[in-house]
A and B are shown apart, each in its own frame.
Chain A
Amino acid sequence: MTGKILGISGPTISTDLKGLSLYERVYVGHAMLTGEVVRLEQDRSVIQVYEDTRGLAANEPVKGTGTPLSVRLGPGLLSGMFDGLQRPLRRLKEEMGPFITCGREIYGLDHQKKWSFSPSVKGGDEIAQGQVIGSVEEGALRHLVISGPGNTGRVLQIREGEISLDEPLGTYDGGGMIVGCHEWPVRLARPYRKKFAPAGPLVTGQRSIDFLFPVAKGGTAIFPGGFGTGKTILEQAIAKFADVDVVVYVGCGERGNEMAEMIEEFEGLKDPWTGRPLMERTILVVNTSNMPVAAREASIYTAVTMAEYYRDMGYQVLFLADSLSRWAEALREISSSLEEMPGEEGYPTYLASRLSGFLERAGVVETLGGMTGSLTMLLSVSPPGGDFTEPVTQACLRTTGAFLMLDTALAHRRHFPAINWFQSYSLYADELGKHFRENISPQWDDLLRRAREVLQKEEMLREVSEIVGAEGLQDSDRLLMLAAEKIRMEFLSQNAYSEDAFSPPVDTLALISRIFQFYDRIRGQLAQGISLDDALKTECPS
């Protein structure tokens, strides 16, 4: 069925094409630009176009596809780099050169590549949706082939060995093909049997997070911070070091150079937990700030659907997005071109519900295939002017489990990661503190409490010392300030460009207990009447 373009305004067009359904994918214009139906009216439908609309004319054709905007799921996604519509950027580059021009349909998966398939079903078995049919080796990962919608029935015959995605894995009774990949609509959360509360830490290797504000697997955390406060570096560090099986990283409306740098770096690195090449567990979705805004809006859905797919194989998946604010702004741009009634700061009134709907896709689940998988979300937020009262930060606060506030003042002092230790919080802290106490050291809680106390007291003492000068303080207070400085500079700071970038929990604990051993030793000497200066002289003779 074909209709024509009636009107064009920014990234949206209207068409007289009949029989469309909401969120259906359509092709727009002679250039066959990809679009999605966002509003249906009696005599016209409105479509948001995922590519540059410049040059599009009224009366050009519009074609429906009958299916919603979807991604392809199957082996071969890992180590891939896709745009917001899951077009593989490396293949796109081979086909059209270094600049992206419009209207090219390339699928996310390579359908020619052969995979060594071993089935886990046999003739006579029933295959239901979401069930594991078999597996292939995708790099180091055992990729479970999961049946998609409609790929169900009683197995007549199943193959084994080298098979490409274009070939059937076998046949069903009645002649249907058993297939190895499927499509899934990006805006629809993938189903599972049961959801559990987030549990167990997601080890980030960042001391300030793992120790002060830990994040649980299956949980959600946001990092809001003004420009240059270290959001991207932090997200990338976590992408490198987190103890998960699969990482999906979305560069949403951010910089191209940053992504080039990340890829180049990741290509030379190993997963610290398995020793395998880091890229083998990583999927990148990139829609830079100068790529079409509607695709930016879709990119986080494209990415999260791929993340859920690996979760459904029973893996621990980490989803990182930089930055959620750019997604929200894309939503705002589209909303305003649809002439919807604006809410706060021009954002559509459905911002908060969209956001919480999205965040709901995180969690620990029992999959349809009966395994347990998790999807953790870490999202950066870029508040205008570094002002955290703005709508996106506020909407996130209501639904996320951890709030890691990045502080411009700390960043200016080059204290990185610039996580503010007074304003940040993690709702998972108590639960995970228990875990660390049981699995790392019984001292964990105690040291944590003491570290908090020292930092708190330092803040009060700092005000005093600004009046009387550091020399005017009592020795015990000066010692506390010294300990606090050590905690800040040696423990909470972690230079992402140094060896220290990754700190496993055992090392984290060792470092903080060393600092408190020092503190207690000197305190002991003060108690014996030795002056601080003398005590320090014997402690560090240089």
Chain B
Amino acid sequence: MRRSEHVYRSISSISGQLIFLQGVVSARIGEVVTVTAPHGLKMDAEVLEIEGENVLIEVFGETRGLDIGRTSVAFGDTVRLVPLSSDMIGRIFNGSLSPADDMPMFIPEQWRPITGAPMNPAARARPEEFIETGYSVIDGLNTLVKGQKLPVFSCAGLPSKELVSGILKNSRLSKGEGDFVVVFAALGLTFHEYSYYMKVLGEMKTGFVAVINSAEEPVMERLLAPRFALTIAEYLAFEKEMDVLVIITDMTNYCDALREISTAREELPGRRGYPGYMYSDLASLFERAGRLKGQKGSVTMLPVVTMPEDDITHPIPDLTGYITEGQIVLSRELHRLNVFPPVDVLPSLSRLMQKGIGKDRTREDHRKISNNLFKYYARGRDMRRLEAIVGRDGMPEKDIRMLDFADLFEREFVGQASGRRGIGETLDIGIGLMKRFSLEVT
């Protein structure tokens, strides 16, 4: 067995991000290697496939300038490990986990494999403790709980950025107990988005760790950044007993990177060119959310997905929906009406909310209020279709009342342009609305 570093110059071919190397003695799958270009530039790569002494490696950085003969490849005999420390809190890193905030690198307390290990299903504790995001439409109707994975499905041009920054700044544990940290992973950010989020992070009051991969950074890093974020989150949650909310934006950039890399590897394309293993790959991220029995700490995940062509059946939102525990769906129509956050209540659902609300969690009347609000709003939306056919004047008074309720519900309950609301305030607004229309709360 090899223990020390081995260096080879036996490259037989280079194609895109892929390098074939000959005569390598016992490489490991997933092993981290360093490629040194003739001009001295070093870049990260990983062992992808092994066939006898021929090894296929994938380079993370820009491969321009590499050659056959002078370029060298050094094997490190280890899979990719993430340096970890509680000193990471308050820090901003780039997609290769180097400091991006002009401060020195921290001193690692621990190293862990970037892929993590699957949680034993027998060790999982059921998610049931409320996390308050400060938005009524989420807290009241699509409640997020510790250990859950709940994505936001957005469309191009909708203010998901503003929603994310609101959640970044406003989320907290309902009872204020325990340590709460937000881990923020941003993938493929444009310069504009980058400066926007930098400003938001500057205003944060809760603890945070940010891993920011900008659009001009290597595509491979887009696949690493969320894994860095999750490895940090698991460390803070299960080693340091913190409740960690991981926000990842935008998973669509992640999936496109996955597709690009898969194509470069000449793998068989699946639906719309995305690789057949995309479900497993996304699950390897999302399933890292959870809580453990008899242990403090939790990893909760809120990934943002932009639905290409506003199509919820597109493989990216589709596979995400198949893995996550519900979804928050944004709507163009509400955005046009200036409702912020423009969350469409009907297709949105938090599958784990039932256990996280009620007495001792939020408030005793929570379930009743949310069921009724949903019911009346759904009825109001049905009435809108009718209104389009027979006209408002042709409708009986009780139907018109539902129409008006739906309008006001969107403006006053869903919409909250400024400020965060506590769960109590959210529920009171809900009750108030139903009272105003003399709607019975059953």
CB B159 to nearest CB in A, in angstroms, measures: 24
B313, A386: Cβ atoms closer than 8 Å: yes
Number of interface residues of A (CB under 8 A): 65
Bound together, the chains give a CA A258 to CA B325 distance in angstroms of 9
A346, B125: Cβ atoms closer than 8 Å: no
> Knowing A251-B121, A329-B280, A333-B277 touch, does A467 contact B126 (C-beta < 8 A)?
no
Instruction: Say which residue of A52, A81, A257 sits within 8 Å of B122 (CB atoms).
Output: A81
Residues of chain A lying within 8 A (CB to CB) of residue B385: 466
* CB of A9 within 8 Å of the partner chain: yes
Residues of chain B lying within 8 A (CB to CB) of residue A384: 271, 313, 315, 318-319
Q: Which residue on A lies nearest to B391, using beta carbons?
A: A469
> Knowing A98-B292, A257-B126, A257-B147 touch, does A336 contact B118 (C-beta < 8 A)?
no
* CB of A350 within 8 Å of the partner chain: no
* CB of A440 within 8 Å of the partner chain: no
Residues of chain B lying within 8 A (CB to CB) of residue A471: 396
> Knowing A58-B52, A346-B270 touch, does A288 contact B121 (C-beta < 8 A)?
yes
CB A490 to nearest CB in B, in angstroms, measures: 15
Bound together, the chains give a CA A231 to CA B117 distance in angstroms of 27
> Knowing A55-B28, A257-B148 touch, does A289 contact B119 (C-beta < 8 A)?
no
* CB of B287 within 8 Å of the partner chain: yes
A7, B50: Cβ atoms closer than 8 Å: yes
B280, A289: Cβ atoms closer than 8 Å: yes
Residues of chain A lying within 8 A (CB to CB) of residue B277: 293, 329, 333
* CB of A499 within 8 Å of the partner chain: no
Instruction: Say which residue of A100, A413, A469 sits within 8 Å of B120 (CB atoms).
Output: A100
A289, B313: Cβ atoms closer than 8 Å: no
CB B174 to nearest CB in A, in angstroms, measures: 19
Segment of B347-355, B358-366, B410-418 engaged in the interface with chain A: B347-355
A257, B290: Cβ atoms closer than 8 Å: yes
A54, B115: Cβ atoms closer than 8 Å: yes
> Knowing A255-B287, A257-B148, A346-B276 touch, does A98 contact B120 (C-beta < 8 A)?
yes
A57, B27: Cβ atoms closer than 8 Å: yes
CB A106 to nearest CB in B, in angstroms, measures: 12
Segment of A87-95, A194-202, A210-218 engaged in the interface with chain B: A87-95
A6, B313: Cβ atoms closer than 8 Å: no
B84-138: which have CB < 8 Å to A? 113, 115-127
Residues of chain B lying within 8 A (CB to CB) of residue A467: 389
Residues of chain B lying within 8 A (CB to CB) of residue A251: 121
* CB of B12 within 8 Å of the partner chain: no
Instruction: Say which residue of A55, A228, A291, A469 sits within 8 Å of B321 (CB atoms).
Output: A228
Residue interface mask B144-158, A partner, CB < 8 A = 1: 000110000000000
B120, A89: Cβ atoms closer than 8 Å: yes
Segment of A136-144, A259-267, A395-403 engaged in the interface with chain B: A259-267
Instruction: Say which residue of B117, B354, B386 sits within 8 Å of A100 (CB atoms).
Output: B117
Instruction: Say which residue of B50, B148, B321 sits within 8 Å of A58 (CB atoms).
Output: B50
B276, A333: Cβ atoms closer than 8 Å: yes
* CB of B173 within 8 Å of the partner chain: no
* CB of A342 within 8 Å of the partner chain: yes
CB B84 to nearest CB in A, in angstroms, measures: 15
* CB of B338 within 8 Å of the partner chain: no
Instruction: Say which residue of A8, A81, A414 sits within 8 Å of B49 (CB atoms).
Output: A8
Residues of chain A lying within 8 A (CB to CB) of residue B29: 8, 53-57
Bound together, the chains give a CA A526 to CA B233 distance in angstroms of 67
Residues of chain A lying within 8 A (CB to CB) of residue B288: 290
A257, B124: Cβ atoms closer than 8 Å: yes
Residue interface mask B1-25, A partner, CB < 8 A = 1: 1000000000000000000000001
Residues of chain A lying within 8 A (CB to CB) of residue B347: 412
> Knowing A329-B280, A385-B315 touch, does A54 contact B79 (C-beta < 8 A)?
yes
A227, B318: Cβ atoms closer than 8 Å: yes
A256, B290: Cβ atoms closer than 8 Å: yes
B119, A99: Cβ atoms closer than 8 Å: yes
* CB of A63 within 8 Å of the partner chain: no
* CB of B394 within 8 Å of the partner chain: yes
B321, A92: Cβ atoms closer than 8 Å: no
CB B111 to nearest CB in A, in angstroms, measures: 14
Residues of chain B lying within 8 A (CB to CB) of residue A386: 313, 318
A260, B118: Cβ atoms closer than 8 Å: no
A59, B126: Cβ atoms closer than 8 Å: no
Most buried by B among A59, A60, A89, A251: A59
A289, B51: Cβ atoms closer than 8 Å: no
> Knowing A57-B28, A288-B287 touch, does A332 contact B295 (C-beta < 8 A)?
no
B352, A257: Cβ atoms closer than 8 Å: yes
B51, A259: Cβ atoms closer than 8 Å: no
CB A298 to nearest CB in B, in angstroms, measures: 15
B265-317: which have CB < 8 Å to A? 267-268, 270-271, 276-277, 279-280, 283-284, 287-290, 292-293, 295, 313-315
A291, B118: Cβ atoms closer than 8 Å: yes
Q: Which residue on A lies nearest to B271, using beta carbons?
A: A384
Q: Which residue on B lies nearest to A385, using beta carbons?
A: B313
Q: Which residue on B lies nearest to A332, using beta carbons?
A: B276
A469, B394: Cβ atoms closer than 8 Å: yes
A92, B122: Cβ atoms closer than 8 Å: yes
Bound together, the chains give a CA A228 to CA B324 distance in angstroms of 10
A346, B280: Cβ atoms closer than 8 Å: no
Instruction: Say which residue of A99, A288, A412 sits within 8 Å of B117 (CB atoms).
Output: A99
CB B63 to nearest CB in A, in angstroms, measures: 22
Instruction: Say which residue of B148, B314, B354 sits within 8 Å of A497 (CB atoms).
Output: B354
B118, A346: Cβ atoms closer than 8 Å: no
* CB of A101 within 8 Å of the partner chain: yes
A93, B120: Cβ atoms closer than 8 Å: yes
* CB of A286 within 8 Å of the partner chain: yes
Most buried by B among A227, A291, A412: A227
Residues of chain A lying within 8 A (CB to CB) of residue B374: 414
A256, B27: Cβ atoms closer than 8 Å: no
> Knowing A227-B322, A329-B280, A413-B378 touch, does A99 contact B120 (C-beta < 8 A)?
yes
CB B224 to nearest CB in A, in angstroms, measures: 14
A7, B51: Cβ atoms closer than 8 Å: yes
B36-57: which have CB < 8 Å to A? 49-53
Additional 18 contacts, C-beta under 8 A, given A6-B51, A256-B290, A257-B147: A7-B51, A8-B50, A54-B28, A55-B29, A58-B50, A228-B321, A253-B279, A255-B325, A256-B287, A257-B124, A261-B352, A288-B118, A288-B287, A326-B279, A333-B277, A345-B271, A385-B315, A413-B378
Closest 8 CB pairs of A and B: A289-B283, A385-B313, A98-B123, A290-B287, A227-B321, A260-B124, A89-B122, A54-B30
Binding site for A on B (CB under 8 A): 1, 25-31, 49-53, 79, 113, 115-127, 147-148, 238, 267-268, 270-271, 276-277, 279-280, 283-284, 287-290, 292-293, 295, 313-315, 318-319, 321-323, 325-327, 346-347, 349, 351-352, 354-355, 374, 378, 385-386, 389-390, 394, 396
